[in-house]
């Protein structure tokens, strides 16, 4: 039987090269082999303080971005068009302990970052609880594989714990245990601070937008942190990150030649930076051209995605109906 793949991304602004090399490139490749469902999860984008005037637009922008990099329209859905996710999320709240949720490092990191920025920072209950909704996103399609970056490993573990507890409670192996799928580069780091993952919530300089123009990419790569001082025989995280980006951009020959220079102790960082900026800019230019084509008829795209969401929703409805039966709830006829 064809295996099922599910993965999601939040419409929180831009799509960056961490998202792309860590997850979305894999989404595109997996489409050839599996039944794939990819969600733009707008409910998740509400967990941090956000601008209500921008969310809907961000959702559509992300749809155009995903189409531009090669995700097929029929595999895409918008979470708020499939309300069964949030209903299953509630049910799963009752199969997940507060203790387990409290151990999620993303919550601790984001909550702490907000509190560091301001002592009156608002940390929502949604931020604490969203891994449960994420479990619903995954399990509602009975996904076998979930292609995500390394930052999601702990959340996937939580999804499996919820599925296991659910199965034990209802006395049936109803949910399959979803497996994490990592790309070759499951963690891309910020070029401005290579000790942190590339991420939007850390601020503008900590991510490289897949749709940035060449000048912006060059500027960001030129100012990438390379050596951080201190004597060490190991390659520094910043240099390693640039090599990873260069390879991911498909510049194998340059990667090999510059790695030789590095091993010989003759590498000039400016050469590594220029090659990386060339590689990323070429990719970004191609994606931007494709996006321009796609967005020439936004109405048609919106219509298509509403249709695909409706189609994908049929699976979610069926799972929710079965789940409600299993846990003793009533189904609306």
Catalytic machinery residues: 110, 197, 200
Q: By CB under 6 A, is residue 151 in contact with ligand AQP? A: yes
Nearer to ligand AQP, 152 or 281 (CB): 152
**Residue 62: CB minimum distance to ligand AQP, A:** 9
CA 22/CA 20 separation, integer angstroms: 6
**Residue 153: CB minimum distance to ligand AQP, A:** 9
Q: By CB under 6 A, is residue 9 in contact with ligand AQP? A: yes
Which of residues 4, 6, 12, 208 is near ligand AQP by CB under 6 A?
A: 12
Q: By CB under 6 A, is residue 10 in contact with ligand AQP? A: yes
Token readout for 303 is: 């219509």
Which residues, 6+ apart, have CB-to-CB distance to 149 below 8 Å? 18, 19, 22, 23, 182, 183, 186, 187, 188, 197
Instruction: State whether the Cα torsion 92-98-104-108 is positive or negative.
Output: positive
Nearer to ligand AQP, 140 or 245 (CB): 245
Q: By CB under 6 A, is residue 19 in contact with ligand AQP? A: yes
DSSP string, 193-232: -TTSB--STT-GGG--BTT--HHHHHHHHHT-----SS--
Which of residues 4, 22, 64, 178 is near ligand AQP by CB under 6 A?
A: 22
Cα 128 to Cα 84, 224, 302, distances in angstroms: 20, 33, 31
Size of the site for ligand AQP (CB under 6 A): 19
DSSP string, 254-282: HHHHHHHHHHHT---HHHHHHHHHHHHHH
Comparing every residue's Cβ against ligand AQP, the nearest one is: 22
**Residue 187: CB minimum distance to ligand AQP, A:** 5
Q: By CB under 6 A, is residue 218 in contact with ligand AQP? A: no
Stretch touching ligand AQP by CB under 6 A, among 50-58, 66-74, 157-165, 197-205: 197-205
Nearer to ligand AQP, 9 or 96 (CB): 9
Q: By CB under 6 A, is residue 114 in contact with ligand AQP? A: no
- Strands 4-9, 76-78: pairing is unpaired
> 285 near 262, Cβ under 8 Å?
no
Site for ligand AQP in 157-186 (CB under 6 A): 186
- Using DSSP's 3-state secondary structure scheme, residue 184 falls into coil
**Residue 330: CB minimum distance to ligand AQP, A:** 34
Nearer to ligand AQP, 10 or 308 (CB): 10
Which residue is it, tokens 């390693």?
Answer: 240
Q: By CB under 6 A, is residue 85 in contact with ligand AQP? A: no
Q: By CB under 6 A, is residue 155 in contact with ligand AQP? A: no
Q: By CB under 6 A, is residue 201 in contact with ligand AQP? A: yes
Q: By CB under 6 A, is residue 194 in contact with ligand AQP? A: no
DSSP string, 123-182: --HHHHHHHHHHHHHHHTTT-SEEE--GGGHHHHHHHHHHHHHHHHHHTS--S--PEEE-
Site for ligand AQP in 219-258 (CB under 6 A): none
Q: By CB under 6 A, is residue 71 in contact with ligand AQP? A: no
Burial class (CB in 10 A: 0-12, 13-18, 19+), 70: middle
- Kindly provide the b/e burial profile for residues 83-100, where b requires at least 16 CB atoms within 10 angstroms of the residue's own CB: ebbebbbebbbebbeeeb
Stretch touching ligand AQP by CB under 6 A, among 64-72, 198-206, 239-247, 258-266: 198-206
Q: By CB under 6 A, is residue 149 in contact with ligand AQP? A: yes
User: Which residues are near ligand AQP by CB under 6 A?
Assistant: 9-10, 12, 18-19, 22-23, 148-149, 151-152, 186-188, 197-201
């Amino acid at each position: 039987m064809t295996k099922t793949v599910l993965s999601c991304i939040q419409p929180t602004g831009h799509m960056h090269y961490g998202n792309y090399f860590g997850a979305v490139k894999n989404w595109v490749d997996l489409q050839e082999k599996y039944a794939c469902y990819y969600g733009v999860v707008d409910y998740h984008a509400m967990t941090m303080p956000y601008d209500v005037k921008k969310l809907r637009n961000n959702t559509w922008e992300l749809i155009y971005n995903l189409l531009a990099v090669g995700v097929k329209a029929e595999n895409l859905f918008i979470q708020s068009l499939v309300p069964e996710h949030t209903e299953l999320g509630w049910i799963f709240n009752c199969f997940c302990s507060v203790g387990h949720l409290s151990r999620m490092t993303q919550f601790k990191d984001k909550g702490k970052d907000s509190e560091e920025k301001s002592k009156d920072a608002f940390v929502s209950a949604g931020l604490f609880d969203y891994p449960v909704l994420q479990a619903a996103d995954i399990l509602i399609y009975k996904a076998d594989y979930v292609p995500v970056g390394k930052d999601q490993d702990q959340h996937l573990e939580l999804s499996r714990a919820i599925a296991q507890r659910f199965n034990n409670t209802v006395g049936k192996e109803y949910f399959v245990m979803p497996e994490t799928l990592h790309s070759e580069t499951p963690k891309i780091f910020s070029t401005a601070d290579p000790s942190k993952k590339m991420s939007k919530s850390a601020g503008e300089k900590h991510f490289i937008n897949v749709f940035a123009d060449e000048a912006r990419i060059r500027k960001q790569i030129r100012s990438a942190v390379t050596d951080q001082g201190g004597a060490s025989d190991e390659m520094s995280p910043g240099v390693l990150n640039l090599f990873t980006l260069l390879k991911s951009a498909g510049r194998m020959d340059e990667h090999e030649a510059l790695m030789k220079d590095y091993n010989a102790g003759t590498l000039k960082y400016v050469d590594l930076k220029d090659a990386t900026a060339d590689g990323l800019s070429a990719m970004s230019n191609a994606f931007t051209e494709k996006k321009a084509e796609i967005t020439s008829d936004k109405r048609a795209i919106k219509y298509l995605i509403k249709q695909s969401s409706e189609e994908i929703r049929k699976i979610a409805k069926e799972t929710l109906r079965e789940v409600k039966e299993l846990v003793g709830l009533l189904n609306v006829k």
